[in-house]
A and B are shown apart, each in its own frame.
Chain A
Amino acid sequence: MEQYKLFIDGKFVDAASGKTFQSIDPGSGAPIATVAQAGKEDAEAAIAAARRAFDKGEWGKMSVQARAAKVRDFADQVARQGLRLAATESMDAGQVISLAKFMPLISVTLLRNLSLAAATKFPWEEEIPVSGNAFAPGREYIRREPIGVCVGIVPWNYPMYIAIWKITPALCMGNTIVLKPASVTPLTACILAEAAKAAGIPDGVINVIPGPGGELGKVLCTHPDVDKIAFTGSTEIGREIMRMASATVKKVSLELGGKSANIILDDADMDLAVEGACFGTFFHQGQVCSSGTRVLVPSKIYDQFIEKMKKRAEMLRVGYQLDPTSHLGPLVSKEQLATVERYVKIGKEEGAELITGGKRVEVPGMPEGNYFAPTIFANANNKMRIAQEEIFGPVVCVIKYDSDEEAVAIANDSIYGLAGGVFSSNNARAQRAAAGVRTGTMWINNYHIFSDFCPFGGYKQSGIGRDFGLECLHEYTQMKRIHVNSMAHSHTNMFFQLLSDYKKVDGFGYSCPTNVVAGHGALSSISKAIVDLGCKRALILTDPGVKAAGLADLVKNALADFCIGVFDKIPADPDLEAVDAATEAARESKADCIVSVGGGSVIDTAKGVCVTLKNGGKANDYLNFMVLTEPQTPHIAIPTTSGTGSEVTNIAVLTSHGAGRKLFIVDPKIIPNVAILDPRFTLGLPKLLTVTTAMDAMTHAIEAMTSIMSNLICDGMALQAIRLIKENLLIVAKDGNDEKARINLQVAATMAGWAFTIPQVGLAHAMAHTIGALHHVHHGAACGILLPKVMRYNVDHCADKLSQVAQAMGVNTAGMSERDAALAAADAVEALMKKVDHPMRLRDVGVPEENLPICAFHAIVDTARIFNGRPVSDPNEILEVYKQAY
C-alpha cells in the first residue's frame, strides 16, 4: 500500500505523534494508502514554515513575472503527474474515471491562466486620478500586496481541483499556504506537494497537512500567524471558522452550501431541459455544491417532464468508478451514504412522491461500495426539508409552479444562494429570470460550467468571497493606498494647521488657461476661435435682458454659419433646472460648442451645460469639487457685465433647491476655453448694475488677497484689478459710453477672476451668498455692502495685504502704521462706493433686520468662509458684521 507523509517546509515528514490513517476506496471499501495524520504540533510547524517563507523568503518579494514562471513550472509538474493524479483521484474520491481524467488538465489551465493574469492583467498598482479631496492635492495610488500566510481547507468532492482553487491564487499573489485536505480524500493533495517540490517552489510556500478537521481547524483558524482562511465546506463549519477567525480578524473567504434551483420555463426545449436537470443533479453522484437539486417545472408540462426525467434517470449506469462505462460512481463514504438515506426517508415521511431510486445499488463484486441510485421526488413542496436542506447525493426534488415570477420566488426561498439554472428557448426571458434569483452563478440552458475567469461564490449563507477570475486574485491581496503630498511643507497643509495658529497656506499651483481676446472689435475673433476648438455647431446661451439689448444678435452675426441657435431662457441666479433646460436644447440641436453671452448667471449656466452635455445625466450629478478628468464641451464666454470674472474662473455658482442654497461646481476643467472682452457688450449696462458688478469684482480681488490661500501671482492680478476699478468706475458711472473705461473695467473683472480662482474668496462672499439666496439681493450689491465691514473684521489677520489694497486704492499710506493703512483701505472702498451711488446698507436692499441671526447661521456653513484670512467659527461674530452693515 502506498504511504504518504506530511509536507512541511519543503520536507516530507511523519506526524509528530507518529500517527497514520488509512484512505479508503469508496467503490470497493478497501484501504488504498496510509497517510501521516497531522495534529496540533504539525499544524503549528506548517504555519511557522509558511510564516518564515513569507516574512523572510523571496516568494512574496520576487517579481510577478518570475513568480508566474515558477507557478508554470508547478503546472508542468502537475501535468507530468497527470495520469497518477487522475487515477488516484478516482480511487480516493469515487469520481468516475471519465470525470477524474479531466482534473489534471483543468488544474493546469487554471494555474497557467491565473498566473498569466496575475502577471499581465492584475492591477498591482493603480493610479487614482481624482482623489475626491480638493484640500489635499497629491498623487494617490493603490498598491496591492500579498496578504501573508493563507490556510486552504478543502472538501472531499473535488479534492484535487479545489486544492488548486486555493493554491493557485495564493501562490500567484505572493502568499504562502497551508493546505488541509479532507480526511477521506487526502491523496491527491499529497501528490500536489510532490509536484511543488519537483517544480522548485521554495520551502514553506506550500505545506500540506492531512488530518482531522475538528483538531486541526482550531489551530489553523485561531493561530495569530495566519492571515487568511479560504474554506470550502459546510455552512455549519464555515460559520464556526468565521467566528474563530474573528478573534484575530483574519480575512476569510467561504464557499459553503447550496440548494440551487434549476428553473425550467414552459418554452424550454424539453429534451435539453431534461438532460440539464439530470446533469445538474446526478453528475458526480450529486456531490457538488452547485447542484440544481430543486428542479422547478411549470404545471402545464409537469407530468410530461417527470415522465421523461424518470426515464432518463433510470438509464444512468451506477458502477465502480474506474469502470469507464460508469455514469455514476459511489458516494464518498458510508457516512455520506447514511446521510442520503436519511434524507430519502425524511422525504417520504414529508409526503413527497418517490418516483425512482431511493435505494442503494449493488455493484457486482463490490459489496462494500457506497452506491446509491439516482433518486427523484415528484410533487415536492419547497417548504419540505428535502427542498430546504442540501443532501449532497443523487437526490432531486421536482417542484411545480405556475408563473415565471412564482418560479423566481421559489428559487429565492432558501437560506442559500450559490448557483442555479434557467432553461428556455427565449434568452431574454431566461435572463430576466436569472437576474431575479439571488445567487452567485446562473447558467442559462447549461449547468455546472466552471471557467477560469468566471467568478464563483455565494450569496446569503452560501458564503463570502469568490473563487476564479481576477476576483479571486483580489481575495488573496491586501490593498494599500499611498498618498504623495504635492506640497511637502507644514505651512501648506490645511489639515496640520487645525492644530496650529498659523492658518495660511503658503505653497500654490497656478493654472488659468483661458485664451483672452480683449479690445474693441474682439468679437470678430470668434469664428477663428471656433475653428481652433475643432467645432462647427455653436449654440448661443443668453438671458432675456441681454437678448433685448441686442447683444445675442451681435454674436449670432459674428458666428455666421457656425451658429445653430440661440437659447435665451436663462434666469438670474440660475438653478440646476436652468442648466438642465439649456442642456436639453444643446442636445436637441447637437451643439458641439457653447457660446455664453451674458453676465455671471449665463456664463455659470453655460459651464454647467458643458459638463452635463459631455458626461450625460443632469446638472445635479456634478455639483462637486475637482472630480472631472477630461476636457469638457468647448466654451467661449462673452461677458456682458464687468463683475463676476466667470469667463476665466473654475467655478459655477448654481442654486440647488434640494439643498436650499447656492452650491458650486469647482473644477479647473470648467474654465472657459476662450473669453472675448469687447467693450460693445457692456456699453449699455445700466448704471446700478455697472457699479454693483464692479464691486463684485472688487470683492474678488480683495478677498483673494486676504484668503489663507493667497499667493504672489494672484496678488499681482488682484492689485491691478483694484487699481483699474478705482480709476475707471467713477468715469463709467458718469458716462457709461466711455469705451476706454469700459474695457478697463472688463479687464479688471477678468483679472479679479484670475486673482480668486486659486485662493477663492472669503467671508464677504459667504455672507453675500446667504442674503442673495434668502433675500434675492443682487450678488454684486451684497458683496459691496459687506466688503468694507469684513475688511475691518479681518484687519488684525491681514493688515499687510489690506495696506497694499490701500495703496492700490490711491491712499497715501506714508507714515501710517500697517493697521491704520489697512483700515484706510476699507474707508477708501466705502468712499468710492458712495461716489458711484452704490447701495451702502443692507436695509437699502430689502433685508429685514430680524432675519440677520438666521443669515449668520447660514453664512457660517458657506464654503467661502473656510478661506477667510481671519478664522471664523462663531456665528455671533458674523451677526455682528451683518449688524454693522445694516
Chain B
Amino acid sequence: MERTIPQVKLESGAGRAASQFLNEKGINRSLRIDLRFTGCCDASLCLRVDDIGEGDLYMEADGLTFIMDTEVYRLAGGVAIAYVEEKDRKGFLLTSERPVSEWEGFGVSDIQV
C-alpha cells in the first residue's frame, strides 16, 4: 500500500525557528502537528515534540521530521506553518486546508515539549 505523505508547508523562517528551538533545548526528535484543546470551545493545531507512533503519517522538510495522526490529517488536511515574530507576539501560526475551528490563524503558540 502506498504511503500517504502529509502536505506540510513551511513558510519562510518557520523551519529555522523550529530547528533553533530544538537545538537550544538539545532535542533530537520529531515534531507532531497535533490537535489540542485549550479550554472552553474550539480546538486548535499546535506543534509538539514527539516520536512517531502507530498510525502516524510523516514527512521531512528543512531537515525536520513532521508527524501527523491519520485522523488529524483526515480532518485538517495539509498544514501551513508560519513563524511570527512581532514586537509583542512571537510563535508558530498553523493554518490548515480545512480549518479545525473558526479561530484558526488567530493565535500563535510555542512548540509543546
User: Any chain A CB within 8 A of the CB of B43?
Assistant: yes
Q: Which of A253-297 contact B (CB under 8 A)?
A: 255-258, 287, 289
Other A-B pairs, 9, CB within 8 Å; known A234-B38, A234-B41, A349-B53 = A155-B42, A212-B103, A233-B40, A233-B42, A234-B37, A234-B40, A239-B107, A240-B108, A257-B38
A232's partner among B40, B72, B88, B104 (CB-CB below 8 A) is: B40
| A240→B40 contact, CB < 8 A | no
State which of A82-90, A337-345, A749-757 sits at the interface with chain B.
Answer: A337-345
Question: Which listed segment binds B: A133-141, A389-397, A622-630, A640-648?
Answer: A389-397
Q: Which of B39, B42, B100 has the most CB of A within 10 A?
A: B39
* Closest residue of A by beta carbon distance from B69: A342
User: Is A379 among interface residues, defined by CB-CB distance under 8 A?
Assistant: no
Query: In chain A, what residue has the closest Cβ to B108?
Result: A240
B28 neighbours in A (Cβ, 8 Å): none
**Given A336-B43, A416-B39: A214 and B71 within 8 A (CB)?**
no
Residue of A184, A339, A349 near B43 (CB, 8 A) is A339
B102 engages A236 (CB within 8 Å):
no
B106 touches A237 (CB 8 A): yes
Interchain residue pairs A-B with the least CB separation, the first 7: A257-B39, A155-B41, A289-B40, A240-B107, A236-B38, A183-B102, A339-B43
Contact A237/B88 with A157-B41, A257-B39, A390-B39 known, Cβ cut-off 8 Å:
no
Q: How far in angstroms is the closest Cβ of chain B from A462? A: 7
B102 and A235 form a contact (CB under 8 A): no
- Cα(A828)–Cα(B44), bound, Å: 89
- Number of A residues contacting the other chain (C-beta, 8 Å)? 45
Also in contact, A243 and B102, with CB within 8 A (given A155-B41, A234-B37): no
**B20-55 with Cβ < 8 A to chain A:** 34-44, 53
Which chain A residues border B109 with CB–CB below 8 Å? 236
Q: What are 8 sample pairs from A and B whose C-beta atoms fall under 8 A apart? A: A212-B103, A213-B103, A233-B40, A237-B38, A240-B108, A336-B43, A391-B37, A416-B39
Query: In whole angstroms, what is the CA distance A237 to B105 when docked?
Result: 10
Chain A residues near B44: list those with CB within 8 A: 234, 236
**Complex interface bits, A444-483 against B, C-beta within 8 A gives 1, otherwise 0:** 0000000000000000011000000000000000000000
Q: What's the least CB distance linking B84 to chain A, in Å?
A: 11
Q: Does A532 contact B (CB under 8 A)?
A: no
**Inter-chain contact A343/B103, CB cutoff 8 Å:** no
- Distance to closest chain A CB from B7 (angstroms): 18
B51 to chain A, nearest CB (A): 11
Output the least CB separation between B75 and chain A (Å): 5
Q: Do residues A182 and B53 form an inter-chain contact, with CB atoms below 8 A?
A: no
Q: Which residues of B contact A (CB under 8 A)?
A: 34-44, 53, 69, 71-72, 74-75, 88-89, 99-109
Measured between beta carbons, the chain B residues less than 8 angstroms from A668 are: none
> Given that A184-B102, A217-B106, A240-B107 are known contacts, is A392 also in contact with B75, CB under 8 Å in the complex?
no
The answer to whether B37 and A256 have CB atoms under 8 Å apart is no
Q: Smallest Cβ distance from A690 to chain B, in angstroms?
A: 74
Chain B residues with CB below 8 A from A257, complex form: 37-40
Bound-state CA distance A710–B100 (Å) is: 76
Q: Which of A380-438 contact B (CB under 8 A)?
A: 389-392, 416
Q: Tell whether, in the assembled complex, residue A335 and residue B75 are in contact, meaning their CB atoms are under 8 Å apart.
A: yes
Known: A338-B35, A338-B75, A339-B35. A213 touches B106 (CB 8 A): yes
Q: Bound complex: CA of A131 vs CA of B100, how far in Å?
A: 54
| Bound-complex Cα distance A183 to B44 (A) | 15
**B43 touching A335, Cβ below 8 Å:** yes
Q: Are B105 and A214 in contact (CB under 8 A)?
A: yes
B102 touches A212 (CB 8 A): yes
CB contacts under 8 Å to B, within A154-172, are 155-157
Name the CB-closest residue of B to A221. Answer: B106
* Structural contact, A243 and B89, CB atoms closer than 8 A: yes
Which of B53, B100, B102 has most A Cβ within 10 Å? B102
Contacts of A349 in B (CB 8 A): 53
Closest A-chain residue to B98, C-beta based?
A: A335
Q: A213-B106, A239-B107, A335-B75 are in contact. Are A462 and B39 (CB under 8 A)?
A: yes
Of the candidates A155, A217, A334, the one whose C-beta lies within 8 Å of that of B40 is A155
- Whether A218 sits at the interface, judged by CB under 8 Å, is yes
Min distance, Cβ B86 to any Cβ of chain A, angstroms: 10
Q: Is the CB of B37 within 8 A of A390?
A: yes
* A218 / chain B contacts, CB cutoff of 8 Å: 106
Q: Which A residues are CB-close (under 8 A) to B43?
A: 335-336, 338-339
Measured between beta carbons, the chain A residues less than 8 angstroms from B35 are 338-339, 342
Contacts of A342 in B (CB 8 A): 34-35, 69, 71-72
User: Among B38, B41, B75, B105, which residue has its beta carbon within 8 angstroms of that of A334?
Assistant: B75
Tell me the minimal C-beta distance from A418 to chain B in angstroms.
8
Q: Which residues of B contact A389 (CB under 8 A)?
A: 36-38
CB neighbours (8 Å) of B34 from chain A are 342
Question: Could you tell me the distance in whole angstroms from the C-beta of A44 to the nearest C-beta in chain B?
Answer: 18
Q: How far is the CA of A342 from the CA of B33 in the complex (A)?
A: 12
Q: Measured between alpha carbons, how far is A217 from B104 in the docked complex, in Å?
A: 11
In chain A, residues 192-247, which have Cβ atoms closer than 8 Å to a Cβ of chain B? 212-214, 217-218, 232-240, 243, 246
Chain B residues whose C-beta falls within 8 Å of the C-beta of A338 in the assembled complex: 35, 43, 71-72, 74-75, 100
Minimum C-beta distance from A294 to chain B (A): 14
B103 lies within 8 A of A214 (CB): yes
Give the distance in Å from the alpha carbon of A576 to the alpha carbon of B64 in the complex: 71
Q: Residues of A contacting B40 with CB < 8 Å?
A: 155, 157, 232-234, 255-258, 289, 390, 392
Q: Indicate which residue in A212, A239, A339 contacts B37 across the interface (CB closer than 8 Å).
A: A339
Closest to A238 in B: B39
The listed residue (B37, B75, B102) touching A343 by CB distance below 8 A is: B37
Chain A residues within 8 Å of B39, by CB? 233-236, 238, 256-258, 289, 390, 392, 416, 461-462
Is the CB–CB distance between B37 and A392 below 8 Å?
Answer: yes
Q: For residue A462, which residues in chain B have a CB less than 8 angstroms away from its CB?
A: 39
Chain B residue nearest to A154 (CB atoms) is B41
Cβ-defined partner of B107 (8 Å) among A237, A246, A256, A334: A237
Contact A214 B41 (CB under 8 A): no
Give Cα distance in the complex from A287 to B109, angstroms. Answer: 23
Asked if B38 and A213 sit within 8 Å, CB to CB, the answer is no
The answer to whether A341 and B101 touch (CB under 8 A), given A217-B106, A233-B40, is no
Closest to A259 in B: B39
User: Nearest Cβ distance between residue B9 and chain A, in whole angstroms?
Assistant: 18
Q: Is the CB of A240 within 8 A of B38?
A: no
Chain A residues near B106 (CB-CB < 8 A): 213-214, 217-218, 237, 240
Q: Which residue of B lies closest to A337 (CB)?
A: B75
Interface centre among B38, B104, B108 (most CB of A within 10 A): B38
- Which one of A235, A243, A343, A345 lies within 8 Å of B38 (CB-CB)? A235
Q: In the assembled complex, which residues on chain A have CB atoms less than 8 Å from the CB atom of B37?
A: 234, 257, 339, 343, 389-392
Which residue of A156, A213, A217, A238 has the most chain B CB atoms within 10 A of its CB atom?
A213
With A and B bound together, what is the CA distance between A218 and B109 in angstroms? 17
Docked CA distance A218–B104 (Å):
12
Q: How far is the CA of A651 from the CA of B99 in the complex (A)?
A: 72
- Cα A218 to Cα B106 in complex, Å, equals 8
Cβ–Cβ < 8 Å partners of B102 in chain A: 182-184, 212-214
Complex: chain B residue closest to A183, CB-CB = B102
Contacts of A243 in B (CB 8 A): 88-89
Most buried by A among B38, B41, B101, B109: B41
B87 to chain A, nearest CB (A): 10
Chain B residue, CB-CB nearest to A258: B39
Question: Measured between C-beta atoms, what is the minimum distance from B44 to chain A in Å?
Answer: 6
Within the complex, the shortest CB–CB distance from B85 to chain A, in Å, comes to 14
Separation of A712 and B108 alpha carbons in the complex (Å) = 70
CA distance A395 to B12 in the complex (A): 39
Pick the contact of B41: A156, A212, A391, A461 (CB < 8 A): A156
CA distance A342 to B40 in the complex (A): 17
In the complex formed, the residue of A with least CB distance to B34 is A342
- The answer for the CA separation of A712 and B96 in the assembled complex, in Å, is 83
Shortest CB distance A398–B (Å): 20
CB distance from A154 to the nearest CB of B (A): 9
- Among residues of A, the one whose C-beta sits closest to the C-beta of B54 is A349
